[in-house]
Amino acid sequence: MNAITPIEAGVSVALGAPIDVTIENVQKAFGDTPALHGVSLDVKAGELVALLGPSGSGKTTLLRILAGLDAPTAGRVLFGGDDALGLSVQQRNVGFVFQHYALFRHMTVFQNIAFGLTVRPRGERPPKAEIRKRVLHLLDLVQLTGLDKRYPSQLSGGQRQRVALARALAIEPRVLLLDEPFGALDAQVRKDLRRWLREIHDRTGHTTFFVTHDQEEALELADRVVVMSKGRIEQVGTPDEIYDAPASPFVFEFIGESSFLPVTVVDGAVQLDGQSLDLAALGSPHGEATLGFRPHDVSIVEDGGPAITGTIVTERRHGGARRLELEVGTEKHRVEIDMPVDHSRAPGGQVTFRPHRWRLFPR
């Protein structure tokens, strides 16, 4: 559906220019339990940032601190260079979308979206006709034209989520915060809404944070991904950087598929059980390290050169490839590699391979 752009409709959705958000050494503890240990992050105006991590990584806590729903134990948050922590939730002017929508179920879709405008003090409240115009425009934007008189209970999950977004956009927020926005939806609806959210963002240009534990979602949707674990930021980068150059074994394992082997770096060369693997480790410190590679980033070696040899434990079909689970080295470490479908190998046999893309993490 080709919705009207905000400019064409003559009603702006974003209030002025989007703002930068700066998070400086934000710490948070619930009682004695630390939830965030000194998180710092600079987000540029109009960026779409994913906070990615497993549950308990502190990503939702960070989002709630940005919204003012929680207060940090220490640290600073700046909206457009101005301190935001001194502002109440109401003054902060952020649009917040909850995973389970949190729609007002006794209000129609129209009343839900109009709520933020109708609670403004009399002097700042737009006239009724203006509110109506804006709500109907937002309904167009989220592709729910004509559903204004429905109650939330009469909508599907995806429709409810779009109402929640329209309601957040209605107050012309300075920052948009989405907490697992697609977490409660079916796989297919998730995919559609993901594309749609990206389009909306490109059109409205809000500085947007969204929390997710779905790496695919984060990589596909975000300008930059913030990978979090145990209350700390593990890595910040573009989807390419996160995927191709993970900064830690945690990121490597969390994003995409991965196999690890304990190795030793001797004079800039990687060794396994004292045997060189013909992998150059220039710049890596001497000593113990972890070699990480993705199952599909390996080549089968048949020329007898230095490589990794393993015994096949299982073999199964995996999408467009054949996935082998191998036991490698004297310690029988388990790793997974992919082979072309036509290379069927029986368990018990030997395979020799060499990763053509890999990362070394000193231990």
Residue 24 CB, nearest approach to another protein (Å): 6
Choice between 55 and 153, CB closer to another protein: 153
Residue 69 CB, nearest approach to another protein (Å): 5
Distance CA(62)–CA(50), nearest Å, equals: 12
Beta-sheet strands, E only, within 44-126: 48-52, 74-79, 82-83, 94-97
Choice between 69 and 247, CB closer to another protein: 69
SS3 194: helix
Choice between 85 and 147, CB closer to another protein: 85
Residue 94 CB, nearest approach to another protein (Å): 6
Residue 33 CB, nearest approach to another protein (Å): 12
Distance CA(84)–CA(339), nearest Å, equals: 53
Distance CA(50)–CA(216), nearest Å, equals: 11
Choice between 131 and 251, CB closer to another protein: 131
Longest dimension (CA), the chain: 81
Choice between 119 and 341, CB closer to another protein: 119
CA nearest neighbour of 310 among 356, 345, 340, 362: 345
Is the Cβ–Cβ distance between 136 and 149 less than 8 Å?
A: no
Q: Please, is 321 exposed, middle or buried when counting C-beta atoms within 10 Å of its C-beta (0-12, 13-18, 19+)?
A: middle
Distance CA(13)–CA(347), nearest Å, equals: 60
Number of alpha carbons in the 13 Å side-chain half-sphere of residue 133: 11
Residue 165 CB, nearest approach to another protein (Å): 12
* Residues at the interface with another protein (CB under 8 A): 24-25, 27, 29, 38, 67-76, 83, 85-86, 89-90, 92-96, 98, 100-107, 115-116, 119-120, 151-154, 160, 164, 167-168, 170-171
Is the Cβ–Cβ distance between 243 and 47 less than 8 Å?
A: no
Residue 48 CB, nearest approach to another protein (Å): 19
Choice between 117 and 277, CB closer to another protein: 117
Choice between 107 and 269, CB closer to another protein: 107
Helix ranges (DSSP H) in 119-224: 128-141, 157-170, 187-204, 215-221
Residue 98 CB, nearest approach to another protein (Å): 5
